[in-house]
Amino acid sequence: MKPFKKYVLKNGLRIILVPEPRSLAVTALVLVEAGSKYENKKINGISHFLEHLCFKGTSKRPTPLMIASELESIGAVFSAFTSLELTGYFAKVSSDKINQALDVISDIYIDSIFDEKELEREKGVIMEEINMDEDNPMKKVQEIFEELLYGDQPAGWSIAGTKEIIRSLDRRVVIDYRRAHYVPQATAVVVAGAFNEAKMLKEIKKCFGGISEGGKTNKIKVKEAQISPNAAIHFKESDQTHLVLGFRAFDMFDKRRHALAVLSKIIGGGMGSRLFQKIRGELGAAYYIYSEEFLLTDHGFLAVSAGVDNTKVKKVIGAILDEFRKIKSAPVSPEELRRAKSHITGKLMIELETSDAVAGFYGQQEIFKEKIITPKEAIKKIEAVTAGDILNVAKDIINDKGLNLALIGPFKESKEFESVLKL
């Protein structure tokens, strides 16, 4: 028997219920297909701005304080997030408070009023968030890397947008964007934890069943074009250089994704990984270094991120590339393969001990319109990866025409890295 149940309301809204009787908490999560990849240049940042505004008042709860106070009065952990392809709103509470939490979350999703004074005030908050990110090179370099890969299209733009665009947004533009994207057929409601299934289904229908259907505006497909290594160097006087080095990959539906996950873990996933041992252990050149695969519905990449001693940047880049050369040239050892698989599957099971992680696991699969698989099924797919699968996917994506480097540090010219930036 599957550990979850799926329902679809007449208006197209999808419901995923994941009962966990032993859980001490319940999470209600609303996910909608709205993110920065659904924007155009004039409104870049509006998805994230809208997420903020939904907490600023509804018809039933007209002030931000009323929303926050009610959720805090029931002991809720609550927040929201925006990514390239989705926006999420959630509240996590004890099981006896879930109906009230669901009522608040549905209210901000369905009936936010977008008061003009609150809208103008929140622009200042967004701008300070942009300032904070600009002052954080560890995060900023990730944006530079994605801009390098995708350029002037939604996948290459900042999720937060720019200050100029945020200043220009008005109430009508926000409402129009919400109407185009916050529609039931593009929305999934997930509840995970300890709850009565029949009562919860009835409660969700009461909260969300009355939303009218609407036409959904789709995102533009990502365009990719590259024939040789690229670099983006941003000068900053600093005691450490932050870099991201990686390769174009494929989308989240590709059959090679499980092999890529294991490859990434072997290269830079944890203290036992090749790069951690080489860059931090042997060279003493970085405090943090890790790799990750980032796959979305129509594009993806594999990247290594690191904070590096300014005097050892070229040496570190060379060492990273050397490990990529090795992994595409010879099969990984049985021991490395076993350790990487265990690391991935063990981490997954530990993360899924919490109801919010369970809700996210099932909800994101549904919102991206994948066939929902259970954690046990996900583990089987990882366990099925062979050394040959890893070698094949390495050969597919690790090449000069997909190689990219983004860097923030005391360097001014990309030419400084041309000699080392090649396989």
**79-121 pLDDT tens trace:** 999 999 999 999 999 999 999 999 999 999 999 999 999 999 9
Percent of the chain scored above 70 by pLDDT?
A: 100
Percent of the chain scored above 90 by pLDDT?
A: 95
* Residue of 20, 51, 146, 203 marked catalytic: 51
At 33-63, the pLDDT tens digits run 999 999 999 999 999 999 999 999 999 999 9
Amino acid identity at 116: E
Structure confidence at residue 369 (pLDDT) = 82
Which residue intervals of the chain bear CATH 3.30.830.10? Answer: 5-208, 230-417
51 is an active site residue: yes
pLDDT band of 400, cuts 50, 70, 90 = very high
Structure confidence at residue 2 (pLDDT) = 82
- The DSSP-derived string for 329-349 is TSPPPHHHHHHHHHHHHHHHH
Structure confidence at residue 124 (pLDDT) = 98
Q: Which CATH fold topology does 5-208 show?
A: Cytochrome Bc1 Complex; Chain A, domain 1 (3.30.830)
Q: What is the number of H-type helices and E-type strands within the chain?
A: 15, 11
Phi-psi category of residue 217: left, alpha or beta, with phi > 0 → left and psi -120 to 50 → alpha: beta
Query: What's the whole-number average pLDDT of the chain?
Result: 96
Three-class secondary structure of residue 159 per DSSP: coil
At 159-216, the pLDDT tens digits run 999 999 999 999 999 999 999 999 999 999 999 999 999 999 999 999 998 888 888 8
Mean per-residue pLDDT, 3-8: 96
Return all residues near 387 (Cβ < 8 A) that are at least 6 apart. 331, 332, 333, 334, 337
Structure confidence at residue 156 (pLDDT) = 98
Contact 30, 189 (CB under 8 A): yes
Q: Which CATH fold topology does 230-417 show?
A: Cytochrome Bc1 Complex; Chain A, domain 1 (3.30.830)
pLDDT band of 32, cuts 50, 70, 90 = very high
- Say whether pLDDT at 1 is over 80: no
At 261-311, the pLDDT tens digits run 999 999 999 999 999 999 999 999 999 999 999 999 999 999 999 999 999
Mean per-residue pLDDT, 393-409: 97
